[in-house]
Structure 1
Amino acid sequence: MSTRFFGEGNIGSAPEFREFPPHDNEEPSRLLRLSVYFDNAVPKDGEFHDRGGFWAPVELWHSDAEHWSTLYQKGMRVLVEGRMVREPWEDGEGKPRTTFKVEARCVGVLPYRIERIVIASKPAAEPEQQQ
């Protein structure tokens, strides 16, 4: 079971990057896992007050996941779009439990609490040597 998800929240811990061995001649699968607190901030008296939110694991499967693991940082405000997926499991005592995770299609960085942004330019192409 899954449903479309669109939420804004803060990354709560350092991103976790994992790479899985390739099957046949394919590229390896790359996963970036974030723990995000999706809040419900409401303005009141010039400040924002949290009216209840939830923590959810966010999984982003992509070939650039390793690069993005250095971009996303704890405390960063992000906008997540994807689908919410229910995952049933059993705890150590054999009791059924349920976790909801977000399988992200994209994770955008919001400009809150960012001191600066540095855009790295692409290295110049080597000029061809004429013989």
Structure 2
Amino acid sequence: MARGIFTFDGNIGQAPEIRFQPGNERSEDQPRPLLKLTVKYDRLVKSNHPDRLYDDKGGFWVNVDYWKKNAEEVAKLLKKGMRVRVEGELRIDTWEDKNNPGQMQSGMALTAESITIVPSRIESIGMKSSQAASSQSAPIEHYSNAMMGID
């Protein structure tokens, strides 16, 4: 059976949440981190109107589940409103409506293979130093300056 991959850009709708699921055979009975977030897939199309760049042609919210081992570290980087690119397997989930018992709701959900921060709304980026990297390579500023022809 073929597996379809869906890739989209969108904004995170609420603060990402990390949960720990019970261990299983694959995780050698160790609790597994699960990062849950919602991302708004927006269909923006270049506008013909002079007062706006894009028209919103509709979109939808996608519930994203990220099961990778680095889910805790990724959760620390992601913030509400941040623009991200998400890639993974898309599905439709159904659940009972909390406000109307007996009524079912459905929505788009995605098991993410990757989550990438899109830098359009980033104010700053920090990186932690690595002893091995700092003792064996030149500082990042050196590479940045060399790439820009400064030195």
Q: What TM bracket, shorter-length normalisation?
A: 0.7 to 0.9
| Contact 2:22-2:29 within 8 A present in 1 as well | no
SS of equivalent to 2:120: coil
Task: Note if 1:118 corresponds to 2:119.
Answer: no
Contact 1:13/1:34 (8 A) holds in 2: yes
* More helix, by proportion: 2
Query: Which structure 2 residue ranges, 5 or more long, are not aligned?
Result: 134-151
Q: 1-side partners of 2:131 and 2:13: how far apart?
A: 34
**Change in CA separation of 1:110 and 1:18 when aligned onto 2, cut-off 3 Å:** same
Aligned-partner residue type, residue 81 of structure 1: E
Counterparts of 1:13 and 1:38, CA distance in 2: 14
TM norm structure 2: 0.72
Cα 1:20–1:93 change in 2 (3 A) is: closer
Classify the secondary structure of the residue corresponding to 2:72.
Answer: helix
Count residues in correspondence.
124
Greater strand share, structure number: 1
Q: What corresponds to 1:43 in structure 2?
A: 46
Gaps of 5+ in 1: 126-131
Q: Which amino acid aligns with 2:53?
A: E
Alignment match, 1:128: none
Q: Is 1:61 the equivalent of 2:67? A: yes
Of structures 1 and 2, the one scoring higher in RCO (CA 8 A, sep 6+) is: 1
- The aligned amino acid for 2:19 is R
Partner in structure 1 of residue 76 of structure 2:
70
Correspondence 1:20 to 2:28: no
